[in-house]
Amino acid sequence: MKKLITVSILILLTIAVPVLAGDFLGVPIRSGGQTLQAKKSFMEVRYDLPQEEITQFYRDAMKGQSDLKFRDRGDGLEIEDHGRRAWHKILIAIKENGQIAVTITQDSWTWIMGTLSIRFIGVFMVLLVLYLAMSTSTGIISRSIKAVEARGGGKA
Is residue 100 located within the same domain as residue 115?
Answer: no
**Do the domain assignments include residue 6?**
no
Helix then strand then coil, % of the chain, to nearest 5? 45, 25, 25
CA–CA dist 55, 102 (Å, integer)? 10
**Do the domain assignments include residue 66?**
yes
**Do the domain assignments include residue 134?**
yes
Domain end (from 82, 107, 132):
107
Domain end (from 107, 127, 145):
107
Range of the domain at 133: 109-156
**Do the domain assignments include residue 50?**
yes
Residue 54: the pLDDT is 84
- What number of H helices and E strands is found in the chain? 3, 8
**Do the domain assignments include residue 152?**
yes
Is residue 35 located within the same domain as residue 90?
Answer: yes
Mean pLDDT of the chain: 81
Is residue 56 located within the same domain as residue 122?
Answer: no
User: Could you give the number of structural domains in the chain?
Assistant: 2
Is residue 91 located within the same domain as residue 133?
Answer: no
**Do the domain assignments include residue 56?**
yes
Instruction: Convert the pLDDT of each residue in 47-83 to its tens digit.
Output: 888 888 888 888 888 888 888 888 888 778 888 888 7
Is residue 78 located within the same domain as residue 35?
Answer: yes
Mean pLDDT over 135-139 rounds to 97
Q: What is the DSSP string of 69-124?
A: EEEEETTEEEEEE-SS-SEEEEEEEE-TTS-EEEEEEE--HHHHHHHHHHHHHHHH
Mean pLDDT over 113-125 rounds to 94
Residue 143: the pLDDT is 94
**Do the domain assignments include residue 103?**
yes
**Do the domain assignments include residue 21?**
no
The residues with which 94 forms a beta bridge, in sequence order, are: 100
Is residue 120 located within the same domain as residue 101?
Answer: no
Is residue 115 located within the same domain as residue 156?
Answer: yes
Task: Kindly state the percentage of the chain with pLDDT values over 90.
Answer: 21
Is residue 102 located within the same domain as residue 56?
Answer: yes
